[in-house]
Structure 1
Amino acid sequence: MSSALFTSGAAIDQAHDDDIWHVRWFPGKNMLATAGSDETVKIWDSQTGECLATLKDSDYAITSLDINAQGTRILTSSMDNKMRVWNIDDSLGGSSENSSPTLTIDAGPINAWRSRFLQTVSETGSKEMLASSTSSGTVKLWSTTKGREVRELNTSRPNFLYALAVSPDSTKVACASAGNHVYVFDTESGSLSGTFSGHSDNVRSVSFSADSSLLVTASDDKQIQLHDARYGSTVSTFSGHHSWVLSAEIHPDGKYIASGSLDTKVKIWDIGQRKCMETHSQHSQAVWGVAWQQSSDDVVTMRPKLASVGEDRSIHFYDPLLA
């Protein structure tokens, strides 16, 4: 009997006109969004490979892509220093080419290299906000109603923040700087709750587990590290890539990590056994992004697929076997 966990599935070649840097799944759906240096966001049906919508509002490369927990809004950051939010229901209805965003925020020079949705909960109810990373070692929080900065989280080190993540429960914000430092903030208090410095080079990617307890980081030092986001300790280090690790994400059930690298490989790691279980070689150039299919509040995805994107302009899917 085969011990393979995932098998190479469908692929979409030449999905964009240039490098694809980002990939995100819509929670509970067989849909995903991709973006990169060709200045567009594209929305795809993962089962048919059909492009359902194309979003474009500037002539600048997109440095960040996110989808809110409800799967109704897309957030981008671009090299024109602007964050844009699109309503997805509107985008998928009729002609969507050059569709206008519902909100545009000019964050100022390199104040939104990475951006993420953030859902805050208080006595008056929940409120959607945006978090963005800067070139000066701070994370800015923005109102989506007025489009204004409302708070700043300070790492106390004025370094460029390459990576940014918000925990699924929205209680934590993690960011990583040029160099080897990773910071975790408590969103309610704004205080710094943890700092990790186990990497020896720039950290390119940070991502939380589905239960918000673990944080995975990927670095130019060719390593992936797993951290306990609650207690501030590093749990495991995974080595096996031959160049920079550009993206890493934890499987929704918490058993595996997927990673993509400049070495063109996608790897699947077993967290419990602390070793690489599979290496996939479908890409011909750097793998910039990996993402697991996500559940939503209404739909549980029992056997999540994996998607990867890269410099070769292609999207590859990996179907679960034993996983």
Structure 2
Amino acid sequence: MSKQYLTAHTVDEAHPAEIFSLALTPTSLLSASGSSALRVHSTTDATFPLQQTIPNAHKLGCHHVVTARGGLGNVAASVGFGGEIKVWALHKPEAASGQQPEWQLRWEIPPSKAQAQNGNANGGVIPGDVWAVALSADENYLACTTSDGRIHVWDIAARERIQTYETGARGGGSFAMAVDLSRDGRLTASGHENGAVYVFNNDAGRMVYSLSGLAKPVRTVAFSPGCKRLAAAGNAGVIAIYDMEHGEHVGNLVAPAARAAWITSLDWNDSGEYLLTGSLDGKVKVWDVARGVCVATHSETDSAVWSVRWLPKSDRALAPGVPRSEMFCAAGASRSITFYREATGS
């Protein structure tokens, strides 16, 4: 059985450069691109209007922006092509002031090379260039990956690094291209250029699973909302599903095609029943995980799709008389952000 999604709205020319990353809060969408500014659109209005532009957020452009899945939407983090990480906080003025909430810089972690030259607050050196980043659901912890295969975990309130996971001897690990934190805070997962997927127990501070199943670069990993499954995908064009109780590879989601396109982004819906994927050939797909089949495909562009995200479910309607059905969004090389709505949603 297929599912039908309709194009609800497209924000044309949302950025002057390719859009590399999207992040959602209960009321807004943050987007990052090859340009220096971050942009914020409202998701409570059917036209998804621009709420805020953060100029010069990253001088060389930004390749990752994240919020906490299942979080309150008060913290965001972004990584620039210069290697810097910036943590943003949502400032909410007094209601009587009539001012709108806006994102403000809370903390910046300088590029790894600068830290290697100057040391850091912990008295050590952090080699390797930062790439992917993730936030815990409680918005207290930040995980980031490096080009030499390390995964660092930071305490945001304390502004200190509290954990480093190694995936190779003496920093000789494969480029860590993706990272995610489980919503219960127990697990960190990383995906690597050599096809490896690792899972770490944050309470024990050690690796618990080294997962097989993908032999090509892994570009995206994501825990299911219930933390029972992990999905990983990348250049193989296959979505590998792993059970987190025993670390078993329990299945693959594969589209029937002569040559599968690289999968660049994936996201679980709120119930954990469906996976959303974006790929290099411009296709956005919705997968029924239990049945192992693709139930919807959109290909409105031939340009690469770099990021896809489900919109958090909300009781708030987009407009009077218009109920909030299941929705997702996608963006990439076209520089536009497209929103899709389930045709039969309630």
Per-residue CA deviations over 1:263-313 (Å, capped at 9, x if unaligned) read 1101111112211112101233001011111258x99x9743111111110
2:112 aligned with 1:108: yes
Cα separation, partners in 2 of 1:295 and 1:188, compared to 1, 3 Å: farther
Q: Is the 2:145–2:179 contact (alpha carbons within 8 Å) kept by the matching residues of 1?
A: yes
2:235 aligned with 1:235: no
Decide which structure has the larger Cα Rg and report it. 2
Q: Is the 2:280–2:305 contact (alpha carbons within 8 Å) kept by the matching residues of 1?
A: yes
* Counterpart Cα distance in 1 of 2:16 and 2:237: 28
Per-residue CA deviations over 1:32-52 (Å, capped at 9, x if unaligned) read 111121122211123222110
In structure 2, the partner of 1:57 is 57
User: In structure 1, what residue type is equivalent to 2:91?
Assistant: D
Cα separation, partners in 2 of 1:14 and 1:72, compared to 1, 3 Å: same
Cα separation, partners in 2 of 1:93 and 1:231, compared to 1, 3 Å: farther
Task: Give the TM-score of the pair, scaled to structure 2.
Answer: 0.82
Which structure 1 residue ranges, 4+ long, deviate > 6 Å from structure 2? Answer: none
In structure 2, the partner of 1:124 is none
Per-residue CA deviations over 1:171-200 (Å, capped at 9, x if unaligned) read 111001111100111111111111212112
User: In structure 2, what residue type is equivalent to 1:137?
Assistant: G
In structure 2, the partner of 1:36 is 33
Per-residue CA deviations over 1:12-43 (Å, capped at 9, x if unaligned) read 1110010111111103x3x2111121122211
Q: Is the 1:111–1:132 contact (alpha carbons within 8 Å) kept by the matching residues of 2?
A: no
2:339 aligned with 1:317: yes
2:258 aligned with 1:256: no
* Counterpart Cα distance in 2 of 1:45 and 1:118: 23
Residue number among 317, 324, 327 corresponding to 1:305 in the alignment = 327
Task: Give the TM-score of the pair, scaled to structure 1.
Answer: 0.88
* Counterpart Cα distance in 2 of 1:94 and 1:236: 46
Q: Is the 1:238–1:275 contact (alpha carbons within 8 Å) kept by the matching residues of 2?
A: yes
3-state DSSP of counterpart to 1:212: coil
* Counterpart Cα distance in 2 of 1:105 and 1:295: 32
2:166 aligned with 1:154: yes
Q: Say which is worse superposed, 260-269 or 227-236, in terms of deviation.
A: 227-236
2:74 aligned with 1:83: no
In structure 1, the partner of 2:121 is none
In structure 1, the partner of 2:140 is 128
In structure 2, the partner of 1:8 is 7
Q: Say which is worse superposed, 142-151 or 61-70, in terms of deviation.
A: 142-151
User: In structure 1, what residue type is equivalent to 2:58?
Assistant: S
Please tell me the root mean square deviation across aligned C-alpha atoms, in Å. 2.6
* Counterpart Cα distance in 1 of 2:289 and 2:231: 11
Q: Is the 2:281–2:302 contact (alpha carbons within 8 Å) kept by the matching residues of 1?
A: no
User: In structure 1, what residue type is equivalent to 2:81?
Assistant: M
2:181 aligned with 1:166: yes
Shift of 1:230: 2.4
Shift of 1:260: 0.5
3-state DSSP of counterpart to 2:91: helix
* Counterpart Cα distance in 1 of 2:35 and 2:99: 23
1:200-279 to structure 2, matched below 5 A, reads 200-240=215-255, 242-279=260-297
* Counterpart Cα distance in 1 of 2:99 and 2:67: 18
* Counterpart Cα distance in 2 of 1:135 and 1:314: 29
Unmatched runs of 5 consecutive residues or more in structure 2 = 114-127, 317-322
Q: Say which is worse superposed, 275-284 or 197-206, in terms of deviation.
A: 275-284
* Counterpart Cα distance in 2 of 1:256 and 1:48: 26
Shift of 1:148: 2.8
Q: Is the 1:283–1:310 contact (alpha carbons within 8 Å) kept by the matching residues of 2?
A: no
Cα separation, partners in 2 of 1:177 and 1:77, compared to 1, 3 Å: same
Q: Is the 2:20–2:331 contact (alpha carbons within 8 Å) kept by the matching residues of 1?
A: yes
Q: Is the 1:282–1:316 contact (alpha carbons within 8 Å) kept by the matching residues of 2?
A: no
3-state DSSP of counterpart to 1:252: coil
* Counterpart Cα distance in 2 of 1:90 and 1:103: 18
* Counterpart Cα distance in 1 of 2:111 and 2:142: 11
Q: Is the 1:62–1:78 contact (alpha carbons within 8 Å) kept by the matching residues of 2?
A: yes
* Counterpart Cα distance in 2 of 1:67 and 1:13: 23
Per-residue CA deviations over 1:205-230 (Å, capped at 9, x if unaligned) read 00111111111111101111111122
Unmatched runs of 5 consecutive residues or more in structure 1 = 121-126
Identical positions, percent = 24
Cα separation, partners in 2 of 1:273 and 1:129, compared to 1, 3 Å: closer
Shift of 1:78: 1.1
